[in-house]
Amino acid sequence: MTTLFGTYRLGDLTLPNRVVMAPMTRVRAAAGGLATPSMATYYAQRATAGLIVTEGVQPSLLGQSNPGTPGLHTDEQVAAWRPVTAAVHTNGGRIFAQLMHGGRVSHPETTGTQPVGPSALAATGDVFTPTGPQPAPVPRALDTGEVAGQAQSYAQAARRAVDAGFDGVELHGANGYLISQFLSSNANRRTDRYGGSVANRIRFAVEAVSATVDAIGGARTGIRLSPGGTFWGVEETDVAELYAALLAELSRLDLGYIHLEATTDTEVLVGLRRAWPGALIMNPVLPMGAKQTGRDDADRWLGLGADLISFGRAFIANPDLVERLRNGLPIAPVDDATYYQGGDQGYLTYPAYQYAA
């Protein structure tokens, strides 16, 4: 029987357990998208995870979604990340950077330019800006000739990630951001080779992943997906067909992994597990939903064929989450008011479990 605490070979890495720290936006970066010493401490505190996947990192200024998030598109950003990756490695950990292009989920006040998307259709809801939440603006639809450049932005950031000491990268193909927008049947109303049919709507994702694999190798590349997810107003009317087609194309690239969110029926997700020949990270509960992932959820999905299990909110409040799960210790609650407030409170101030003297 597969156990959460057994080792796992992921590409060239040997993971000491199957617990993955999921990517979570914390908006603690300094001006210019620079990683900070506090970020080094935060990730190093959680280095007992089999694998850490960072918060979303913009691959370009155009790709920045929220203020206060880090980037990997300047030399200064690369230099700022090196102490973070070094701290994780010193503590025995492994860390991938999640590359997140926000696409239409952005604002001119954040980036200084109009957001872009597959079509000139605004996201649903308010986006974060330096002056507070504002309605999502209508993006500029990318010209056909521009799309390849956006796909290449992931590859360029991946090269910088390796230069910064990361063990690999995860493309954010989920939750209504740029790759997800191209996959969508309502955010993507294009009539060129990137829109309409399933084969066309998966094209951008495949090109972005292919470019990244060419840049740093398949073993160091993963992608996170949210089949059927409705974040920021995206819809997918053909979930099973869409993702089966996408995984069939990605299976040719020898990726390190795919990372699925529990955003559709278990039957569909299990079908994707069976269709995918490589490593699968499963996030067993709806991101930001009412329930946090627990040991029972992890064991269930290991039984259903997942290789690794990602935990989100539990890792915020429990830097020693692996030990707590292993020994059946209480999981401390998280203060959601501190998710995005900045500063070290609610970031570095959660303690490891205190055993009785």
Lookup: tokens for 231:
């974040």
Active-site pick, 42, 43, 177, 350: 177
Kindly give the pairing relationship between strand 126-127 and strand 134-135. antiparallel
Round to whole Å and give the CA distance between 239 and 333. Answer: 34
Active site residue 350: no
Estimate to the nearest angstrom the gap between the alpha carbon of 145 and the chain centroid: 27
Active site residues: 177
